[in-house]
Structure 1
Amino acid sequence: MLFRDWDSLQNILVVGVMAYVVLIVFLRVSGKRTLSKMNAFDLIVTVALGSTLATVLLAKEVALAEGVLAFALLIGLQFAVTWSSVRVRWVRRLATGEPKMLLYDGQLLPAALMTSRVTEDEIRAAIRSAGVDSLSSVCAVVLETDGSFSVVKSSENGNGSSLVDVDGPQRFPGPIDR
């Protein structure tokens, strides 16, 4: 069917604009964390918000008020989890995972690469993107919780303190709140 009636199109336009405005307002009120770089938890919330918006737009049996409540619930739950993850380490690990070291002191860590499903080529590409031409010039490559790679260059003055929360071999373990 190509066309049902004008009322259904008008309903989609009105509800769509209103749901969009409500979603934008809720996202702005919830803070920058809701719109930050995504880890798996953030991706799930984003997909759920998109699915909810689509349902509110296209399902006549779902009222706008129900959709607004669903938006508020999802954003509220995300706020509660992120608020808790800042304060409680086990919640943070549950919601976002932990960064994983894939290269240390210029040496690839094959077991870490395999469990993280990352290839040596991807590590070399990340190192090149950081403007480094040699593995031996790299202290560490870390797979972050959002799926990005961080390349930590070797330094004579460094103490490795940026690596204390990373799962992997560490030369400079520091105080860790676990």
Structure 2
Amino acid sequence: MWLDDPSDLLRLTLIAILTYPALVALLRVSGKRTLSKLNAFDLVVTVALGSTLATILLSRSVSLVGGLLALSLLVALQYGAAFLAVRWPPSQRLLKSAPTMLMRDGVLRHDVLRRMRISDSEIRQAARSQGHGDLSHLAAIVLETDGSLSVIGRESCGDGSALTDVRGR
């Protein structure tokens, strides 16, 4: 119950010593995008990497080479999808959601808030955390692809060109 086979500890240690640096190297080679703020696609890849690493470490049925290949494939697929999204913009609709306008010129878009499952209090919290005390002085609040809220004051909105790809602008 406590320890089925002492050789399991040795195997686990050796596999971790070999696999962890390989994963770190793969992530470094794949670029900062793999480790950036997560949209839904990036989150799935990150969870899959963690699950794969755990399986490699704990399952005797997965060889070290097979596990490293699985990690490499996940990183390569994420890299390929990001490459495709940059080179062929229509693919972005499949890989990530568009940013969404939640408030424009101080007016909350309650229908959009309901659809995005965001409460009025979360909007007020985002405004406060950016140092704004009055929603009517804000040009926009945008729900970004990674789930964060961007708050844009009227004084910093300029021509609004940063909002061109925002749904509902």
Normalised TM-score (structure 2): 0.97
RMSD: 1.1
**How many Å separate the matches in 2 of 1:80 and 1:69?**
16
Measured against aligned partners, the alpha-carbon deviations of 1:51-101 in whole angstroms (never above 9, x if no partner) come to 000110011010000000001100000000000111222211211210010
Which letter maps to 1:155? E
- How far the C-alpha of 1:5 sits from its partner, in A, is 1.7
CA deviation vs aligned residue, 1:110-130 (integer Å, no higher than 9, x gap): 111011000000000000111
Aligned to 1:3: 3
Which letter maps to 2:61?
Answer: E
Q: What runs of 5+ residues in structure 2 fail to find an aligned partner?
A: none
Residue in 1 that maps onto 2:94: 94
- Code of the residue aligned with 1:167 in structure 2: it is R
Which position in structure 2 is the counterpart of 1:66? 66
Q: Deviations over 1:23-65 (max 9, x none)?
A: 0110111111111111111110000000000110011010000
Report the counterpart of residue 37 of structure 1 in structure 2.
37
| Paired residue type of 1:158 | G
Within 2, Cα distance between the matches of 1:154 and 1:121? 21
Taking structure 1 as the reference length, the TM-score comes to 0.92
% identical equivalent positions: 48
Aligned residues of 2:39 and 2:146 also touching (Cα < 8 A): yes
Structure 1's consecutive aligned runs of 4 or more residues displaced over 6 angstroms after TM superposition are none
Q: Distance in 2 between matches of 1:36 and 1:147?
A: 13
Which stretch has the larger CA shift, 147-156 or 35-44? 147-156
2:27 aligns to what? 27
